[in-house]
């Protein structure tokens, strides 16, 4: 029976020779990702039911990130509960403050993501790890609790949509522009509970960082998971980052695998994109969007807070001054240190930016960049729902680091091609 990558992974992890879309299965979990917002609720559920246990202390990866460093007493208490729980259960892969980073940048960087695995996390953007040929999806606190205690979860096998990427991106156009165009085309529910499989020669020139930006936003189209086949770019990244368990299994979709449909994206024809409020699907080409005044530019998050993103922003900001408040947030301590060593911080400082410790804070409207009523922010994050980054009367415009940086310089939505 012909199968997609997603179906093959779920078949193996459920003990079946084959599975098909719509089938209910019980799958073994390879990695459980935990952070400071959804995990305390999960561990409370387990304790209340006399199930205060972990299925494998080496297969759970924990980091505070949403409210770290702690912004108030309540978030400090969440961190303490997480810390106490990790110590009690001897969680091997725990990244406390000082080592903590934005979870979806931290796990691949620290070698916790391998092809062919089933990975779940208490965060909707856990689909990021599909860039490595893994089945990876977000779950709520109840399912997270079940995964922590048993190492298994049930799934309905998703049907798949194939996105065939062709051509080479033009200068100042990036993977963020690809995924914003995809979501613009199919809508925020266009891939509801489906696997979004990305393929084609258009992937060849994209780094793993760029690929993670695409799979990160699969959930914004309603996708159950985003996934890409393993190639030499993937293998090179893994060779550098895997610290143990370097062996892995690579799955590829069969040539006659069944897809709901196939969407073709000509990357060479794309221009920088901006998603207007209040949906990631409200994408407009920069030629339509340029000129709208902004109050803030935000460069960071699990979508675009990696070193490649900071380099792109710094290239535009170098020797220039920002016209609006601009916040730069490296996604992990290693990225922070690398940016400092490469003197990117000098560029940001000279331009008038604020540089933060790694945190998800502003992205979810927690802290470190909250918007007041009436304010507009061009942001490299993944969501622009009503009130996402602050006041329900504020507005968020999603864009690439290049567009966010160029817009910061001019104080209005700006085509980055004029700077690169």
In the structure encoding, which two tokens stand for residue 158, read together?
A: 């998703």
**pLDDT confidence of residue 314:** 98
pLDDT band at 1 (very low <50, low <70, confident <90, very high): confident
Q: How confident is the model at residue 420 (pLDDT cuts 50, 70, 90)?
A: confident
Beta strand ranges found along 272-402 (DSSP E): 273-275, 283-285, 296-299, 325-328, 354-355, 376-379, 395-398
List all residues 6 or more positions away from 130 whose beta carbon is below 8 Å from its beta carbon: 136, 215, 218, 225, 226, 227, 228
Q: Could you tell me the pTM of the whole model?
A: 0.94
pLDDT-based confidence at residue 247 (cuts at 50, 70, 90): confident
Summarised one tens digit per residue, pLDDT across range 328-381 is: 999 999 999 999 999 999 999 999 999 999 999 889 898 999 999 999 999 999
Domains and CATH numbers, the chain: 5-265 (3.30.499.10), 273-418 (3.30.499.10)
pLDDT of res. 116: 97
Condensed to tens digits (0 to 9), the pLDDT of residues 210-245 reads 999 999 999 999 999 999 999 999 999 999 999 776
CB atoms within 10 A of CB 386: 13
SS3 354: strand
Nearest CA-CA partner of 208 in 282, 312, 307: 307
Write the pLDDT tens digit of every residue in 160-209.
999 999 999 999 999 999 999 999 999 999 999 999 999 999 999 999 99
What's the pLDDT score for residue 299?
Answer: 97
């Amino acid at each position: 029976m012909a199968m997609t990558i997603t179906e093959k992974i779920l078949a193996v992890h459920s003990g079946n020779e084959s599975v098909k879309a719509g089938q209910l299965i019980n799958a073994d979990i390879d990695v459980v990702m935990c952070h400071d917002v959804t995990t305390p609720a999960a561990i409370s559920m387990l304790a209340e039911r006399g199930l205060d246990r972990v299925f494998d202390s080496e297969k759970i990866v924990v980091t505070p990130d949403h409210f770290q460093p702690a912004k108030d007493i309540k978030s400090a208490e969440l961190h303490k509960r997480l810390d106490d729980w990790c110590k009690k259960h001897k969680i091997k892969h725990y990244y406390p403050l000082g080592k903590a980073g934005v979870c979806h940048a931290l796990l691949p960087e620290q070698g916790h993501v391998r092809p062919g695995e089933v990975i779940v996390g208490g965060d909707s953007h856990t689909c990021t790890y599909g860039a490595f040929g893994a089945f990876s999806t977000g779950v709520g606190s109840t399912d997270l609790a079940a995964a922590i205690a048993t190492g298994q979860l049930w799934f309905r096998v998703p049907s798949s949509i194939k996105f065939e990427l062709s051509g080479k991106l033009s200068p100042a156009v990036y993977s963020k522009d690809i995924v914003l165009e995809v979501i613009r085309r199919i809508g925020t529910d266009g891939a509801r509970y489906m696997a979004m499989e990305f393929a084609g020669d258009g992937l060849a020139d994209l780094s793993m960082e760029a690929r993670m930006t695409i799979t990160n936003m699969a959930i914004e189209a309603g996708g159950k998971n985003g996934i890409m086949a393993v190639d030499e770019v993937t293998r090179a990244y893994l060779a550098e980052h895997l610290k143990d368990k370097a062996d892995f299994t690579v799955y590829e979709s069969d040539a006659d695998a069944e897809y709901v449909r196939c969407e073709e994206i000509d990357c060479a024809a794309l221009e920088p994109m901006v998603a207007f409020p209040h949906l990631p699907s409200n994408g407009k080409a920069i030629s339509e969007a340029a000129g709208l005044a902004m109050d803030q530019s935000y460069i960071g998050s699990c979508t675009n807070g990696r070193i490649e993103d900071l380099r792109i922003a710094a290239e535009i900001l170098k020797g220039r001054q920002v016209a609006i408040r601009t916040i730069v947030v490296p996604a992990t301590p290693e990225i922070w240190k690398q940016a400092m060593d490469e003197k990117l911080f000098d560029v940001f400082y000279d331009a008038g930016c604020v540089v933060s410790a790694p945190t998800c804070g502003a992205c979810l409207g927690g802290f470190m960049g909250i918007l007041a009523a009436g304010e507009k922010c061009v942001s490299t994050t993944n969501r622009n729902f009503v009130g996402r980054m602050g006041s329900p009367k504020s507005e968020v415009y999603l864009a690439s680091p290049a567009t966010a940086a160029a817009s910061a310089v001019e104080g209005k939505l700006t085509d980055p091609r004029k700077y690169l």
